[in-house]
Structure 1
């Protein structure tokens, strides 16, 4: 009997709508992994994060700049001279000469500056950027985990709500038949109008619950479409992933503390905060660079002249006083570094609580599934007995309706327990940080964030006019 009832419930969980081809949970998760916009957005964010490394390295590379200018110049020169004819100082001759000139001054200059020492700013900034890249990869893992778990829940919710709707619809059909039989018995004088009213009341309530179940299914279908990017086809039953879990909760907690992306990201953030302090320390140190320039100038301060030159200079910059701004940034960076270290402790505490909660939920789901199966057997035996006793006049119509309602609740409870059993196993796997496409063995092209980083980490940049 138990096997037959469980099989009936699973049939309800297997299908959504008649389609030509079916779909498995693994296939749905593979589609979410490849097409979900949340995952793809985080991957794009991580690729942008990778660019922080060449950005930091660029500070110690040569900076080359070309400057050109051209304009119009108009010059008016007024000359005044004095002559003393015949040594007559009382009556000098004043001569005024005026010259008007126009020219097109222009020039070009090519400048190169190569840093030689920057107080180790570039070195520490590059290390901080690389640490930020590793933290970003952990956050990408976290987003992938979250989406895969949400996709699992959405898949199982569609199965659950489809089965629940079918059970409610079957219940409405059963209540309609019950009402018909009740009216026949009333016509035969066996029962009173009260029995008809009770049957009609249960039928109205059944129709209401069926409508609510249909609304729940529509919501689940919409969520499935949001996560998977497609409408569900005929869905196969989902299976728990207990084989991927450790044997006990203590082992799960140890794995979570060592592997979960939340803890790893917090550790990388703390390391990056320490390096940020060293970057700011470089602002207290002198910097040294070499500057070279080649230039040409034409028609400067008059028409027809030209100058060509080149120079190589050493540039030494020594910070003396910045109004306290550097010191303020240093104090701020130290406080942030302290906060990041405390964030690690917070992450560990929250993760331990989450692991314990999810492990407990998994154990409870196993117990609920066994209890739901036993409840169905007992409820079905009770309904059979009530119907037989009603034929002998020992039970009323209300007793039959109550027994039918209890059996319906037990069957729906089994459907929910089956869903919770699968989802709880995936939640426990996510809590230890191992819910991934690789662990699940999904048939997908695994996204490797390191591939983009390797392409750009030592990039010297593209030609300005060529783009990326």
Structure 2
């Protein structure tokens, strides 16, 4: 890959870092809708950074596997002291030469039955699998951001309902006190109203505590404190039927795609281990100079050899390696089946959850309407003496419960909708159209896939990339 591509990656990483800094805690930047929560979660997630680094490590495994196909050249310097004692025809001679050697050695694999190539191909499949794992992690990060936003919204609306209920309870207490003063009700009615107010105030305190907890989770998931929320988000595009949702998931979910690449990687490893049972041929050479300290003697030496090796017996290690690779491959195939089943079940569960939440919301809305009418009527009847204070308080509680249930149902419907999107494998920054610098995993891979030497231009591009990543 050219240095231009390396510069593009550096620029992309720098832009990503700049966006991330704009979401750092302490800056007066306020997210007020679910899209802002998505953006903050994507730009500030340490989990995403961790798995991007793991992907870069997998990229380097391809370069390491490729290096096995290239010549290995070493510069060697050795200082040695030898002791020789010879007894020839009753003549004993002793020598203590001190030698200095410097030279170059070269080793080039010529043939290994394709084992090195298979190792490289397996590493490439592992890279593709790790990329899909990164996409799955991205889904988890984005859903956590969405869930954090919805939880803040739920607790904010709950606090508002509880606050309104405190006001209504206070109003009912004043009404009971006024009616008691004129002898229309007893002190028991006043005590009931006082208890209702105290209960409402306690529930409000709990709701505010839950809101603080939700905001703390939002900071953790999104990277900043929430501002005033914009209300219920619009629902994402959803499939028209459960079979359609399952079909989309089987084609798109990154967990399935990752498992498929894992199976192919282990198939290649089995073939590689079998190739190791066969012969290999390598070219070996060295050239250097040996000098003796005791005198001015020096030897210029060099050799070239073509070495053929065929394993005959290695203590059972090679056969065990093949069987181990086969067992690991079989495990990955079973894992693929399990993942496919789990994803299908996850889609079914999410679809059913969305349908149930939608039905619950419709029923809750009707319950709120009816409870509101009932409360207004009972309170009016109480002023005429046809209803007791307890009747009014019970109607008030019924209305409160209906309002809380409606809010919870509406939040659950939105949560279930995004769970369904995630279950299909579609909850990604690119598909959501987020205004973020999308991380491109191919840029780094293209820089390292040909295993550039340390003195090459690509290696210098990599140095700049690592500096941008603050790994230097």
Say whether the fold is shared (TM-score over 0.5). yes
Alignment of 1:284-295 (within 5 A): 284-295=277-288
Alignment of 1:160-175 (within 5 A): 160-175=154-169
**TM-fit CA distance, 1:237:** 2.3
Partner of 1:271: 264
Whether 1:40 aligns to 2:49 is: yes
Aligned 8 A contact 1:127 1:275 in 2: yes
Partner of 2:345: 353
Where in structure 1 are there 5+ consecutive unaligned residues? 1-18, 83-95
1:157-182 Cα deviation digits (max 9, x unpaired)? 10110110121122122212222222
Partner of 2:38: 29
CA–CA distance in structure 1, aligned partners of residues 279 and 432 of structure 2: 54
**TM-fit CA distance, 1:303:** 2.4
TM-score, normalising length: structure 1: 0.87
Cα-Cα RMSD: 2.6
CA–CA distance in structure 1, aligned partners of residues 46 and 246 of structure 2: 31
Whether 1:403 aligns to 2:391 is: no
CA–CA distance in structure 2, aligned partners of residues 331 and 396 of structure 1: 82
Q: 2:70 aligns with which of 45, 57, 61?
A: 61
CA–CA distance in structure 2, aligned partners of residues 50 and 241 of structure 1: 38
Q: 1:181 aligns with which of 155, 161, 175?
A: 175
1:93-114 Cα deviation digits (max 9, x unpaired)? xxx9x99x98753111210101
CA–CA distance in structure 2, aligned partners of residues 228 and 323 of structure 1: 56
Partner of 2:435: 443
**TM-fit CA distance, 1:193:** 1.7
CA–CA distance in structure 2, aligned partners of residues 246 and 74 of structure 1: 84
**TM-fit CA distance, 1:20:** 8.7
CA–CA distance in structure 2, aligned partners of residues 459 and 314 of structure 1: 26
Distance change (3 Å), C-alpha of 1:176 and 1:285: same
Aligned 8 A contact 2:33 2:233 in 1: no
- Residue 23 of structure 1 aligns to a residue whose secondary structure is coil
Q: Which segment drifts farther, 179-188 or 113-122?
A: 179-188
**TM-fit CA distance, 1:65:** 1.0
Distance change (3 Å), C-alpha of 1:445 and 1:22: closer
CA–CA distance in structure 2, aligned partners of residues 48 and 61 of structure 1: 21
1:276-313 Cα deviation digits (max 9, x unpaired)? 1011112211111111101111116x322111111111
1:124-169 Cα deviation digits (max 9, x unpaired)? 1111111111111111110011111111011011011011012112
When Rg is computed on C-alpha atoms for both structures, the one with the higher figure is 1
Q: 1:206 aligns with which of 200, 205, 208?
A: 200
1:434-467 Cα deviation digits (max 9, x unpaired)? 1111211111121111111111111233149989
**TM-fit CA distance, 1:70:** 3.0
Whether 1:423 aligns to 2:415 is: yes
Whether 1:159 aligns to 2:153 is: yes
Distance change (3 Å), C-alpha of 1:218 and 1:269: same
Alignment of 1:210-225 (within 5 A): 210-225=204-219
CA–CA distance in structure 2, aligned partners of residues 261 and 173 of structure 1: 50
CA–CA distance in structure 1, aligned partners of residues 343 and 272 of structure 2: 32
Whether 1:308 aligns to 2:300 is: yes
Distance change (3 Å), C-alpha of 1:81 and 1:458: closer
CA–CA distance in structure 2, aligned partners of residues 315 and 73 of structure 1: 29
Distance change (3 Å), C-alpha of 1:78 and 1:258: closer
CA–CA distance in structure 1, aligned partners of residues 445 and 51 of structure 2: 15
CA–CA distance in structure 2, aligned partners of residues 320 and 357 of structure 1: 56
Aligned 8 A contact 1:103 1:303 in 2: no
CA–CA distance in structure 2, aligned partners of residues 273 and 74 of structure 1: 52
**TM-fit CA distance, 1:320:** 0.8
Aligned 8 A contact 2:280 2:309 in 1: yes
Distance change (3 Å), C-alpha of 1:285 and 1:22: closer
Whether 1:50 aligns to 2:59 is: yes
CA–CA distance in structure 2, aligned partners of residues 175 and 355 of structure 1: 44
Partner of 1:282: 275
**TM-fit CA distance, 1:245:** 2.0
Aligned 8 A contact 1:155 1:224 in 2: yes
Aligned 8 A contact 1:240 1:423 in 2: no
Aligned 8 A contact 2:215 2:226 in 1: yes
Partner of 1:331: 323
